[in-house]
Amino acid sequence: MKNFKLSRLLIPFSGAITGIAFGWLIASCILPLFTGCATLDPNADPFVVRTEQVQKQADATFDFLLGVDNADRGFWRTNAPAFHNFCEYLRTPIPVSPTHNSPRILAIERNVQDLKVQYKDNRSAGNSNLLYQISSELRLLVLQGNSWSNIVSTPNR
């Protein structure tokens, strides 16, 4: 054990260790600094901005989830039926007009969008209540979707 130095053992791995350490440093210390919330413009209505954030989050979340399920529906139907059923629930066509059906999640997103535009045109308490109700529904679905997104993207297949 004469002249033994731990650092000699680590030399072959030094590149990888440096890479991992650097990645960990970025992931845990630096990136969160760039992901903080932006300051709201003084003229912006916080309720509208919050609703738009939920809309955008819903858009990204459901594109991702339904894309993952669509990539191999047979696999998810067999191995994660709860997840596949959630996706099918989101896809179920519901009537949005007397002559037209739309996938449930798109109908809800469209409903939020229409009510938000209506609220922007007329910021009355009635419009605000309607928008709050439907955007809360969407937010709950997004929260459920976010839980699934972390679960289904890390299985050992």
Q: Which residue ranges make up the site for another protein (CB under 8 A)?
A: 27-28, 31-32, 34-41, 43-45, 48-49, 52-53, 55-57, 59-61, 63-64, 66-71, 73, 77, 88, 91-93, 102-103, 105-106, 109-110, 113, 116-117, 120, 143, 146, 149-150, 152-157
Q: Residue 3 Cβ, how far from another protein at the closest point, in Å?
A: 36
Q: Residue 153 Cβ, how far from another protein at the closest point, in Å?
A: 5
Exposed/middle/buried for residue 65 (C-beta within 10 Å: 0-12, 13-18, 19+): buried
**Which pair of structure tokens corresponds to residue 118?**
């209506």
Strand partners, 101: 95
Q: Residue 8 Cβ, how far from another protein at the closest point, in Å?
A: 28
Q: Answer yes or no: are the C-beta atoms of 109 and 58 closer than 8 Å.
A: yes
Q: Residue 137 Cβ, how far from another protein at the closest point, in Å?
A: 16
Nearer of residues 11 and 27 to another protein, judged by Cβ? 27
- Distance in angstroms (rounded) separating the CA atoms of residues 119 and 113: 10
Radius of gyration (Cα) for the chain, nearest Å?
23
Nearer of residues 11 and 25 to another protein, judged by Cβ? 25
**Residue 100 gets which letter from DSSP?**
E
Q: Residue 72 Cβ, how far from another protein at the closest point, in Å?
A: 9
Nearer of residues 17 and 117 to another protein, judged by Cβ? 117
Phi, psi of 72, deg, nearest 5: -155, 75
- Distance in angstroms (rounded) separating the CA atoms of residues 59 and 61: 6
Nearer of residues 12 and 36 to another protein, judged by Cβ? 36
